[in-house]
Amino acid sequence: MPMHTILRLWKLLLAFTLVLPMAPAAQAQKATIERLDGSRISVPEIERLVLALMDSAQVPGLALAVLEDNKVQYVKTFGYRNVQKRLPLEPQTAMYAASFSKAVFAYLVMQLVQEGALDLDKPLYQYLGKLLPEIKGYQDLATDERWKQITARMALTHTTGFPNWRWFEPDEKLRFKFAPGTKYWYSGEGIQLLQVVVEKITRKGLLQLSEERVFKPLKMTRTSYIWQPAFELSHAIGYMEDGKAVPKEKRDEAQAAGSMETTITDYATFMAAVMQGKDLTPKAKQEMVRAQVAIPFKAQFGPLATVATDENKAIKLAYGLGWGVFESPYGPAYFKEGHDDGWENHSVAFSDQKKGLVIMSNSSNADKLFKELLEKILGDTATPWRWENYVPYNYSGK
């Protein structure tokens, strides 16, 4: 089907979505949402804003959840989960969570920490019963004993010294980019190493642990670290900037750094649980979302990820345990994103205000909307959108 035809059909669905009668569950949602500064925005205003931005930036599908008083107050989906088949995105549609996976894993890890099963500052290799280079996948570290320094705290704060992924390296070998514990560098490799240790300690795989400790207790019935047959009935297809569909990857290996599939309903439920500190002691919750390593760099990824700047000092941008953190005029906030080809997700919570926002989309164009959505819906002007490369689609550079 030609792209211009697809876009025309997509716009028709957006218009249809706007006039659909609200389902009984939706009718119970609040008519207005209170922003951080106390001002309010109506639900119809939110929906008009989202539809207009999606239309302008050519975003096929977007899911939104607003949290107030540490509870889910509003959930809405817009557009398509599958453009070619003209299937609408729905609150129970399975979407690729990408690095939202890391936030769930951090929550699980902090449960082990508060139970005394894991020490954040004990070298990870000491839990393994053998040297790290003797573990499958870590043979490349045999000549560099700095692996002995790596701790769970380093893995969760992205200070292991590992690259994001080894396969980004020319020879696809795992090696240190810098000494462990010395600075921030986002690393899926560090999270994966911690997963190996957690599975060793508990004698359970991540799939079982996540079901027992997170998904079942929180009734997240459509979330898993691997593809489930139940997702076949309603799942989203990802789309690149040019509208080209990304083949759906049905992951069969549980990876803490990024294999999770979820829905906007389930992930909003998870965010509410984190905000409430559910199944975490106050001490563990505070440790998870407090600033632990400053981030003095221009960007999270790419060539600017190692270029120093003072731009982040005003908001005290830093990383906690599995979550980014910053200071705002409304108090401390913590956030987690998820990115991959065809997928863009963002979540943020403001502790003192007990407010939050979750955005999930099956489009690589969606991050171009995040800055305006955060500002207009939540009143959040502190999120480090430049560092996260959330450059608006119509940004003039001013």
241 and 357 fall within a common domain: yes
User: CATH number of the domain that 257 lies in?
Assistant: 3.40.710.10
pLDDT of 14 reads 42
Average the pLDDT over each of 23-32, 134-143, 188-197, 320-329 and give the range with the smallest value.
23-32
Are 280 and 362 part of one and the same domain? yes
Tell whether 207 is covered by a domain: no
Query: In terms of residue numbers, what domain contains 124?
Result: 106-202
Contact 74, 29 (CB under 8 A): yes
Sequence-distant (6+) residues with CB within 8 A of 226 are 207, 251, 252, 253, 254, 259, 261
- Specify whether 275 is located in the same domain as 196: no
Please tell me whether residues 281 and 330 are part of one structural domain.
yes
Other Cβ atoms less than 10 A from the Cβ of 125: the count is 22
To the nearest 10 degrees (0 to 180), the angle between helices 100-114 and 264-276 is: 40
On whether the CB atoms of residues 198 and 248 are closer than 8 A, the answer is no
Q: Tell whether 178 is covered by a domain.
A: yes
Domain identity same for 26 and 61: yes
Domain assignment of residue 170, yes or no: yes
In a domain, 308, yes or no: yes
- Tell me which amino acid residue 111 is: Q
Encoded amino acid at 118, one letter? L
Q: Are residues 163 and 242 in the same domain?
A: no
Read off the pLDDT of residues 14-31 as tens digits, 9 standing for 90 and up: 433 333 333 334 434 569
Over residues 95-149, the pLDDT tens digits come to: 999 999 999 999 999 999 999 999 999 999 999 999 999 999 999 999 999 999 9
Are 158 and 276 in a shared domain?
A: no
Asked if 52 and 154 sit in the same domain, the reply is no
Identify whether 33 is part of a domain: yes
Q: Count up the domains in the chain and report the number.
A: 2
Same domain flag for 272 and 154: no
Instruction: Classify residue 98: in a domain, yes or no.
Output: no
119 & 197 share domain: yes
On whether both 197 and 241 belong to a single domain, the answer is no
Q: What is the mean pLDDT of residues 51-62?
A: 98
Kindly report whether the global pTM for this prediction surpasses the value 0.85: yes
Task: Say if residue 190 is in the same domain as residue 275.
Answer: no
